[in-house]
Amino acid sequence: MKRNNIVGIYLAAGQSTRMGSDKLRLPLGPMNLGNYALAAALSSKLDYVWVIVNDAAADWIDKALYQDPLKRKWSAISCPESHLGQAHSLRCGVEAALVAEATAVMILLADQPLITKEMINELLLCFQTHRVKSGIGFAASRYEGLARPPVIFDRRMFPDLLQLQNDQGARQLIRKESLGICIDFPIADLFMDVDTAEDYWTLLDKAAFWKS
C-alpha cells in the first residue's frame, strides 16, 4: 500500500439491536442496504477501505464488489469485540491504518446508504488542502450545525481514537480538537441513518434513490 494515503474505515459490525435483524442485509433495490455507502467509498478517491465486520463471512457484501477493479481497493477485518461497542470497531480500523502508515482515516457508517462519492471526495479535497495550510486534525461533514459522519481524522489523532471506550464515538474528539474544519451539506437525506424498521420503510419510500 502506498505511503501518505487516506484510507476509509467502514463501520459495519453493529448489532442492529433496534432493527431486530441485521439491517445491512435488508434488500434495497439491486443490493443489500450495507453495500451503498461502501460502493460510494470504493468509487471515491479514497486510497483503500477496511470494512470492519462482526462476521468473517460478511455475506451481505454484494458480489460486484469482489470484481476488478473494486476488489483491489478493500478488505474485511473481523472484529471479535465489536459487540462491546463502536469504539472496538474503530480500534480495529485505526490499528490497520497505523500498520499501513496511512496519513489519515475517513470514518464511514454502513447504515448511511445515501452517502455519495461526491460528498466523500469533497471532504477529501477539503482535508488535503487545509492539512497543508494549517495542519488540521479533522475534516467533518455537517448538517444543521452538527458534525456527522463521514469524518476524516489526521494521523496525529490516531492515539485519541485508540483511547475511545465502549460505545464512544469520534464526535467528542471533534469537540476537543481546536484545529479542524466542518463542511456544510444542506441535504438531509445524505445523513439518513437506518436504525429502525420505520427508518427502513422511510428509505424504501425514497424509490428515486435506488431506481436512478
| Residue 1 pLDDT greater than 50, yes or no | no
Residue 21 has what pLDDT? 67
Q: Long-range contacts for 193-197 (Cβ within 8 Å, ≥24 apart)?
A: 193/109, 193/111, 193/112, 194/19, 194/23, 194/26, 194/33, 194/111, 194/112, 194/113, 195/18, 195/19, 195/23, 195/111, 196/18, 196/19, 197/19, 197/20
CATH of the domain at 32: 3.90.550.10
Please give the pLDDT value at position 205. 85
> Distance between CA atoms of 154 and 134, rounded to whole angstroms?
12
pLDDT value, residue 128: 92
pLDDT (average), residues 127-136: 86
pLDDT band at 195 (very low <50, low <70, confident <90, very high): confident
Give how far the C-alpha of residue 55 lies from the chain's centroid of Cα atoms, to the nearest Å. 18
1, part of any domain: no
Residue 74: what pLDDT?
96
Report how many domains make up the chain. Answer: 1
β-partners of residue 107 are 9, 151
CB-count burial class (<10 Å; 0-12, 13-18, 19+) for 211: exposed
Average pLDDT over residues 40-51: 96
pLDDT digits (tens, 9 = 90+) for 201-212: 999 887 555 444
Q: Which domain holds residue 97?
A: 6-211
CA distance 76 to 15: 17
Q: Provide the β-strand partners of residue 50.
A: 9, 75
In tens, the pLDDT along 9-31 reads: 999 987 666 776 688 999 998 99
